[in-house]
Chains A and B, each alone.
Chain A
Amino acid sequence: MVATEEARQTVKEVSGEYKYGFVTEIDTEKAPKGLNEDVIRFISAKKKEPEWLLDWRLKAYDKWLTMEEPKWAMVNYPEIDFQDIYFYAAPKSSEDGPKSLDEVDPELLRVYEKLGISLKEQEVLAGVAVDIVFDSVSVATTFRKKLKEAGIIFCSISEAAHDYPELMRKYLGSVVPVMDNYYSALNSAVFTDGTFVYIPKGVRCPMELSTYFRINEANTGQFERTIIIADEGSYVSYLEGCTAPQRDENQLHAAVVELVTHDDAEIKYSTVQNWYPGDKDGKGGIYNFVTKRGACRGKNSKISWTQVETGSAITWKYPSCLLIGDNSVGEFYSVAITNNHQQADTGTKMIHIGNNTSSTIISKGISAGKSEATYRGLVKVMAGAENARNFTQCDSLLIGAQCGAHTVPYIEIKNPTAQVEHEATTSKISDEQLFYCLQRGLDVEDSVTLIVNGFCKDVMKHLPMEFAVEAQKLLGISLEGSVG
């Protein structure tokens, strides 16, 4: 496996600096700063949205005004001034909507090349259809034709609002209600793009679907809305990867992701999150307040979340599963790395509602520097859920003496037939392990990368191949300078 070699290379390349910390000069069109009904109308008009969606947004906004920011997570940050944020910014060149890559602003394409995600290359090599969100507007979608032949819908959420209004109305907010939490309400009011996927009955999506998110404009919050529906007997694997250029101001990101599986359907959702974490002194970085939830509505259906979280100054994220259908399966595999002053409060919720439902949680937290990582998870078995099963494993790895790792498992069992297992460990990279690697010729960075990748193997093996390599590199980059 070449991962650590590549990691070393990459570490050299960045030499301590965030690799993707560049800002691209592209004209953008912004809504005025701040949030009010006019801004929401502006966004809705820009997106040429139907009336019902504008109403839906405005109602969400009214509700948001009545809500309070959650304070229970183990994270600290200064109060967010929502009137000092741009809620809409779109690259101007997308106004007319490019039909193919040839019509895409060459400056944008250069950015993707810098990121190593050349679309043309991916088209040919990887067979990955990429729906790129640059700031807030999707500018390129590939492979759509091929997908269309299979009856698969893979488009931006704005297009879905135009072209598939019935599906949108049926599913928007059906898994994460507007009022679910403060940030889901905010997202519902101002979301600007994201991805919509529908896999029809009996179709196995022929390729991994992938969206790269990128926050570019200074002070622009990004509010994606993603909906993925897997109809009866269908299957889809969805990849989400993120990088953001370096800014001093904190940037707010509050996405909502809703997944629905019907009978015998499966969704595999994988994330590599590599947003700017702030500098060594904790200045700057992304605030990542995300609500991700999947509903296994059908019997024998399955939703699997796999995440590798290395970026963001603050992460607040609990990809969850509602196991409604009998025999449905929920999985959560997570690696969360925090370094320097990063704070992560992440975990999952597995809600067992149907009979014979099962869930697996494997969480690997790695803390270095002065960072704080918290696993927060809920396993809930409802009274009517017979024979529910859960297995949870939470492992924490500490690097250095100034970081913290916390595990906060909540277990609520209301049915006596449930079987729930919870295992947790906390360990440090031992001097013995480190010396063993050094004596064999590895330098300190490579040794740490190797040991940490080993620690995370149970999660990494669930990532699709093309993500696994990137993720392994990221582990090395994220932990650079944490030992020695």
Chain B
Amino acid sequence: MLEIKNLRVTVGGKEILKGLNLTINDGEVHAIMGPNGAGKSTLSYAISGKDGYEVTEGSVFYNGKDLLAMDPNERAGEGLFLGFQYPVEIPGVSNMNFLRTALNSQRRYQGAPEVKAVDFLKLIRAKAKELDVDPEMLKRDVNVGFSGGEKKRNEMVQMAVLDPSMAILDETDSGLDIDALRIVADGINRLRGQDKSILLITHYQRLLDYVVPDFVHVLADGRIVKTGTKDLALQLEAKGYAGLGIAENAA
């Protein structure tokens, strides 16, 4: 269970999150929507511990542990995964090598034995096949020269291999054609099927046609201003934020 209480976060001296509350129980899928500048990405970075996102007040607990007291890699070891809006390129490092190093780092943190090279190869090939990803992509350098869609698929492969208990997906659906969107949705649903918690940060409701959330929240001006079910997303799509009385540029 992820519990965020009264979270206030400052970036570059400017307060972006202004007392955000959110609880995600095991196995739940939550979607956060909101206008540009509302603080959606800030929330994902603050939870995962990126430098420069200063928490001035509030708390984030995951399964009873204080995430804010941990380094980002420790948070990952606790089972937190962030699907990046803009996945980063690492020249000269193959996807395979990157992911194996990551998986074994997490396993060490968890006190589990490291995965042998042969077993890892089997694992990653199986996951790539499940997600309909070309195995050649695994040999390429991390995100280098990848199209937008390939980068997002690659995030899904990483998520599948690392098998987190809590995934935050920051606009993973943006910029995808319909086929790529299906793959991403499939990746999320596979994780969901195993009773994992998921936080979807999205601009559009179309992803929610494939991954039906348990709850939809509207984030505006650093706070959650409305909570509902999938219907809320449909209302937003039909009427816009203004139509629901939410200022487009509230932040």
A441, A451, A455: the one contacting B102 at CB < 8 Å is A441
Cβ contacts under 8 Å, A5 to chain B: 101, 104, 114
The chain B residues found within 8 Å of chain A, CB to CB, are 48-52, 71-73, 75-77, 81-82, 84, 87-94, 96-106, 109, 114, 117, 141, 158, 162
Cβ contacts under 8 Å, A453 to chain B: 92-93
Cβ–Cβ contact A441 & B73, under 8 A: yes
A451: nearest residue on chain B (CB-CB)?
B90
B103: nearest residue on chain A (CB-CB)?
A441
A440, A450, A455, A457: the one contacting B162 at CB < 8 Å is A440
- How many Å lie between the Cα of A457 and that of B96 in the bound state? 15
The answer to whether A439 and B91 touch (CB under 8 A), given A5-B101, A454-B141, is: no
Cβ–Cβ contact B88 & A433, under 8 A: yes
The answer to whether A436 and B90 touch (CB under 8 A), given A441-B109, A441-B162, is: yes
Cβ–Cβ contact A442 & B97, under 8 A: no
B91: nearest residue on chain A (CB-CB)?
A454
Does A465 reach chain B (CB closer than 8 Å)?
no
The answer to whether A455 and B87 touch (CB under 8 A), given A438-B72, A443-B105, is: no
Does A4 reach chain B (CB closer than 8 Å)?
yes
Cβ contacts under 8 Å, A435 to chain B: 50-51, 72, 88
B82, B92, B99, B109: the one contacting A454 at CB < 8 Å is B92
Contacts A439-B75, A439-B76, A440-B76 aside, 15 further interface pairs with beta carbons under 8 A come to A1-B96, A2-B117, A433-B89, A435-B51, A436-B87, A438-B76, A439-B48, A440-B105, A441-B102, A441-B105, A446-B105, A454-B90, A454-B92, A454-B93, A457-B92
Q: List 16 A-B contacts (CB under 8 A).
A: A1-B94, A1-B97, A5-B101, A432-B88, A438-B73, A439-B72, A440-B73, A440-B99, A440-B102, A440-B105, A441-B77, A446-B105, A450-B90, A453-B93, A456-B92, A457-B92
- How many Å lie between the Cα of A450 and that of B91 in the bound state? 10
Does A103 reach chain B (CB closer than 8 Å)?
no
Cβ–Cβ contact B71 & A438, under 8 A: yes
Of B76, B91, B96, B105, most A-chain CB atoms within 10 Å: B105
How far in angstroms is the closest Cβ of chain A from B53? 10
How far in angstroms is the closest Cβ of chain A from B223? 25
- How many Å lie between the Cα of A440 and that of B81 in the bound state? 7
How far in angstroms is the closest Cβ of chain B from A86? 43
Does A431 reach chain B (CB closer than 8 Å)?
yes
